[in-house]
Structure 1
Amino acid sequence: MDKQFIHPPELFKHPAYSRVVTVAGPSKMIFIAGQTASDENYKPMFVGDLRGQYHRVMEALTIQLKAGGATWDDVVFRRLYVLDMDAFIKIQTDPAMTFPWHPDRPPPSTLVGVTRLSHADFLIEIDLFAVTGA
C-alpha cells in the first residue's frame, strides 16, 4: 500500500497535521484534514462572515482534492463543524447557493455544532474523505 502526504504549496503548511493524505491500493483513498477559512499564513479570513468563510473553505478543499488527484465527484464523506448551526443551515438551504458536487450525488455528511474551533475567529471547519481509482 502506498501512502502519500501532500501539503499543497498554495496553502499554509500546518505543523500539527497533513493537509492531504492519499492511500493507494485497489483504490486510492484521500483524507483531507479539517479546513478553516485561513490564508497562507494561517490567519483567519472573512472574520465574522460565515458565508465568506464557507466559500473560502470550499475553495481550499477544491485545491486539496486536486492535489490528491480527486474532484468533488470523488468525495465519499464530508464532516462539518460550525459555531452557529442556524446560520449555517440558512446558508445551506439558500436557493441561490451553488455547490461543487453534482446535485444528485452530494457527499454523505455529518454536521456538528461546536463551541469553538482552533482560532476564535473561525466559524466553520470541514474535512473530507475521497476515493478514486488507483
Structure 2
Amino acid sequence: MPKEYINPPGVSKSWYFTRILSITAPSKLIYIAGQVPADENSRPVHVGDIRAQYIAVLDALTVQLKAVGATWDDVVFRRVYAIDVPAFVERCVRDENFPVPWTRERPSPSTLIGVTALANPHFLVELEIAAVIAD
C-alpha cells in the first residue's frame, strides 16, 4: 500500500516519529485501544520500571497487530500517555538502543501526552495505535 512519509522543511525532525504520513490507496483502518503494562489477568507488570513497562506494551500491541493481519510497518499513528514524561523521553525515546518494533527510517506520526494518572497507579505508560492495511 502506498504511504508517503513527509517531514517538511521548517519543522523539527525526529528519528522517533514522522510529521506527516499520507496514505493514497483503498485501505482498512484499524484502531487498537490503549494498551497498558498488564498481564493476561490485568495485573501490572514491571512495577516502577517505565522502560520495561513500555517494552511489555509494545509486545502486547505486536500480538494485537498480528491478530488483524498487520505489522508495525502498517502503524500510521501512535499516542503515548506517560506519568513521567522526562523519564519516558530519557529511557525510551532518546535512547537510540531502545528496541522499537517500527523502522527508524519511517516511524509513524506520534504524540506524547503527560498525564497525572492511568487506570492503575502502577501503570507508568499507555500506548494506543492506528494501523492501515490494504483492503
Q: Give yes or no for TM over 0.5.
A: yes
With the length of structure 2 as denominator, give the TM-score of the two structures: 0.79
What is the aligned partner in structure 1 of residue 53 from structure 2? 53
Q: Which moved more, 1:100-109 or 1:123-132?
A: 100-109
In the alignment, structure 1 residue 75 sits paired with structure 2 residue 75: yes
Q: CA deviation digits over 1:65-99, x for unaligned, max 9?
A: 11111000000000000000000000111132121
In the alignment, structure 1 residue 28 sits paired with structure 2 residue 28: yes
What is the aligned partner in structure 2 of residue 119 from structure 1? 120
Consecutive unaligned residues in structure 1, runs of 5 or more:
1-25
The runs of at least 4 consecutive aligned structure 1 residues that moved more than 2 Å come to none
1:34-45 matches, within 5 Å, as: 34-45=34-45
Structure 2 distance, partners of 1:65, 1:111, is: 21
With the length of structure 1 as denominator, give the TM-score of the two structures: 0.79
What is the aligned partner in structure 1 of residue 107 from structure 2? 106
Structure 2 letter corresponding to 1:101: W
Structure 2 distance, partners of 1:98, 1:48, is: 19
Across the aligned residues of Structure 1 and Structure 2, the Cα RMSD in angstroms comes to 0.8
Structure 2 distance, partners of 1:44, 1:97, is: 21
Aligned residues: 109
Structure 1 distance, partners of 2:96, 2:64, is: 27
Consecutive unaligned residues in structure 2, runs of 5 or more:
1-25
